Structure 1
């Protein structure tokens, strides 16, 4: 039951992310939320989440350096 609810939450977050790509909104946050829900049960999603977290950290560091 728990796995089904987490998968359903991940699908809902992914759908909201797709909607917010077209309509202005926080699509990245919903995409990360869906990936976070999937990473609880699936190790492959956990690896993708780790890669995306590293990429976001690197982008933020580069942006911070550029804005100084």
Structure 2
């Protein structure tokens, strides 16, 4: 029951992320929430969470360095 509920919540978050990708909204946040919910039960989702974490960290460092130069 708990796994089914987590999967349903993850699907809802992914759906909201897709909707917000078309209309203005926080699509990345909803995609990450859905992926994190899936990572509780699925090892492949954990791998993608790590990839997202490293990519977002690298992007934030790049943005910080660009903003620090100004």
User: What TM-score comes out, normalization by structure 1 length?
Assistant: 0.98
> Equivalent residue of 2:10, what SS?
helix
Aligned Cα RMSD in Å? 0.4
Gaps of 5+ in 2: none
Q: How many residues align?
A: 68
What corresponds to 2:60 in structure 1? 60
Moved over 2 A (4+): none
Gaps of 5+ in 1: none
User: What TM-score comes out, normalization by structure 2 length?
Assistant: 0.96
In the TM superposition, what is the alpha-carbon distance from 1:62 to its structure 2 partner?
A: 0.4
